[in-house]
A and B are shown apart, each in its own frame.
Chain A
Amino acid sequence: MQTRTKTSLVFTLILVVLAIYWLTPTIRWISMSEPERRQATMRNDPMIDHILKLGLDLQGGSYLVLEVKSTEGDAVERALEIIRNRIDQLGVSEPLIHREGENWIVVQLPGIKEPERAKELIGKTALLEFRLVNMEKTIMDVLDADGNIDEEKIPDGYEVLPGKGDRRYLIKDTSEITGKYLKNAQVEIGGQFNMPYVSLEFEKEGAGVFEEVTSANIGRNLAIVLDGVVQSAPVIRDRIPGGRAIIEGNFTMEEAHDLAIVLRAGALPAPVEIIQETSVDPSLGSDSVRLGFKASVIGFCLVIIFMVIYYQLSGLLASLALVFNLFFVLGAMSALHATLTMSGIAGLVLTVGMAVDANVLIFERIREELRAGKTVRVSIDNGYSRAFSTILDSNVTTLIPAAFLFQFGTGQIRGFAVTLSLGIVFSMFSAVVITHMIYDIALGGKPIKKLSI
């Protein structure tokens, strides 16, 4: 065996071993049954970190971009922390939350089935205030003849806030105490109608303030205002020591639960707005996986059939190179912790079509050399060496756009750029080095009369 062949063989074996190493967790995961998977997740099996991850478009989930309506101080950082807290309590596995640009926060929630609920939970400012209700005037007193609010009739220091349903309240425009002093918030069930409610507990300072407010305003209504909406406005019957309060308001269990979460995590320093959303139902995701898999297999088979018809055994060799190529790409993606998205699958499929280009260039050269009457061995070696600079060129021209797509692209495009670039890089190896090595080994030292090409 020539030294070149030996070196190629060693490199190929190293790459194959690495690819197998990186793909083993994924293959194990695919072959596991649903309960086994759940068990593995429960015991935090380290293999889970090494599975080839699917993008949100393939496994379902939500991708949200939030705009924080303030850039003062560390408002965005604080908002990010609070949102992270809330999401942690929602129990999403592997959420990704990061800041982007000046005042955007990107939230990725893989696998969630109820994007509405998550959005509600994340987007709520959760500014909790306790405000006194005006006892001299009722809402009726500030209405004009048509039933609209007459701004001029509102007493100084008061404002009208909506409540649940059609109710409106005339309440003070400053708060007695806010959610800032909260120590804990919890869902409880009980009361008159056995409904869920949220019980609040203030920390020491807050408890003192709360006691003062309640003792000074016995007999008045104290409105509990959440994000500018009055939840309820119970009468203060007595001084309340110990800093405990409850929020009632016809909640469902889920609503009460989520309210407790946002109150515990704290109010956002500024309102946030969801400015971009992509939510995919897991069922649609798995449909896409099937679709992508089918398209890849069909595309792959068609290319193999074509290559074998056109180049016979050499075509089969090129197809083998394709298999190696796909194997290496997927292995590298696992190693790099890259995610496979639908556009990534497109990149993979496209790689299959374009990666054979290297072999086509080589084979055409070999045929030319053979036609010119050279021996098989010389033709093969010339074919490889003469096609190489062209192959290099063609790969660079594909890599340039892929690199820019990766650098500037959003998630969707990045997946495509990653698979395409990896496919191109590995095709250099599999289509050039591996096929040449196989020719060398197969032809051995024997004099060959005819090449199946």
Chain B
Amino acid sequence: MQIKFPQQIRFINIRRIAYALSMSMVVLSIAGIANRGLNFGIDFTGGYLSHVQFSEEVKIAELRQVLESHGIVKPSIQTLGQDQSGYPVIIRIREHNIGNQSLEENMEVAFEELSRAKPVIKKIEMVGPAVSRHLFKQTLLAFSIAFLVIIAYVGWRFGGGMWGVGGVVALIHDVVITLGVCAWTGTEISVITTAAFLTLAGYSVNDTIVVYDRIRENLRCMYKSPLLDIYNCSITGTLSRTLITGVTTLLVVIVLFIAGGEVLHDFAFVLLVGIIVGTYSSIFVASPICYDFYSHRKFGQRKSHWPTKLR
């Protein structure tokens, strides 16, 4: 099977529309982050999470009322429907005012009131303030350094200039929009979703590099053609690869999203959004930026590879 593309699709010609779309997405995302904030998980805020299995259905309102009567402040309760062993519920707590007793002891006392539904604690996650601060710092550090290294790599690989800038703009574009989607949907940002963000950063750069490689190759082979055609041909030439890799990666990410369970749900969601945005940006953002720059100026790092007349 093959998807037949024409020799060139005029992607570059509609770049202004793409810019407008991207700009508005970025603005919307920043608005979302500013407005709603990011929903940081207990890894970063500190708190308590427990995965409790009930043998019969317990109403969220009842559970909340029981927990609150034991001094637990604003528990966030998420029911996971029914599975073969009962009714699993996830309870997240950020703060509590219990005094002497530990939160867990108090939870146990609270659960005694619900003994008819035989609560079984399947999983406990507790992160103290010192640890959450440490994790936040550590993650931020890893994230920023990895980012800088990726940027440096792109810069080195393409000999600096606008190529590096284009790749980095596309990368930031992808990460900001994905963060924005997370803000609007309330997706939890935890240590594990951060891993998804870094993976997405790698994916985004990778996608851009494939298109750039082709553009640079075509600058050599098609040096008689107008720059516009070279860009369009290159994007079109790599289009099937861009789409197919996007599809295979999306396939597994969708599987993780649907069947990967609670732990991987948000992780897969970030990648899902990120891969779609990343695929879009490698076509509509990264290359057009380079085109705009190089078509206006006689500026190139490897002069011999450049046509004498740019248009």
Contacts and interface: CB of A to CB of B under 8 A. Distances in A.
Interface string B112-146: 00000000111111111011001100110111011
B267 interface: yes
A414 to B, nearest CB: 10
A354 B260 contact: no
A273 to B, nearest CB: 8
Interface in A54-73: 57, 65, 67
A30 interface: no
A276 B131 contact: yes
A221 B201 CA distance: 70
A32 interface: no
A23 B97 CA distance: 51
Given A275-B128, A299-B251, A407 B210 contact: no
Contact of A353 (B51, B149, B252, B260): B252
Nearest to A311: B1
Contacts of B267: 343, 346
Contacts of A350: 199, 249, 252-253, 256, 271
B195 interface: yes
A354 B138 CA distance: 27
B206 A394 contact: yes
A325 B202 CA distance: 20
Given A394-B210, A398-B203, A405 B253 contact: no
A307 B251 CA distance: 12
B37 interface: no
Contacts of A417: 195
A123 B27 CA distance: 50
Contact of B255 (A302, A397, A399, A410): A302
Interface in A384-420: 389-390, 393-394, 396-405, 407-410, 412-413, 416-417, 420
B298 interface: no
A321 interface: no
B8 interface: no
Interface string B185-224: 0000001101100110111011001100100000000000
Nearest to A414: B195
Contact of A393 (B104, B122, B130, B157): B157
Interface stretch (A5-13, A34-42, A125-133, A279-287): A279-287
A364 B242 CA distance: 10
B155 interface: no
Contact of A404 (B191, B198, B241): B198
B252 A400 contact: no
A58 to B, nearest CB: 10
A281 B259 contact: no
A405 B124 contact: no
A397 B249 contact: no
A413 B192 contact: yes
Nearest to B237: A368
A342 B261 contact: yes
A349 interface: yes
A361 B214 CA distance: 12
A277 B126 contact: yes
A360 B202 contact: no
A407 B150 CA distance: 15
Nearest to B144: A404
Nearest to A298: B255
Contacts of B245: 354, 356-357, 360
Interface in A304-349: 306-307, 309-312, 342-343, 346, 349
Contacts of A204: none
Given A281-B121, A401-B199, A275 B142 contact: no
Contact of B249 (A346, A353, A361): A353
A354 B249 contact: yes
B248 A360 contact: yes
B209 A408 contact: no
A92 interface: no
Nearest to A403: B146
Given A115-B124, A408-B138, A354 B130 contact: no
B205 A405 contact: no
Given A360-B245, A401-B150, 9 more contacts: A274-B126, A276-B127, A278-B126, A303-B248, A353-B253, A398-B206, A404-B146, A409-B191, A420-B199
7 contacts: A273-B128, A277-B126, A292-B261, A368-B237, A402-B199, A410-B135, A410-B191
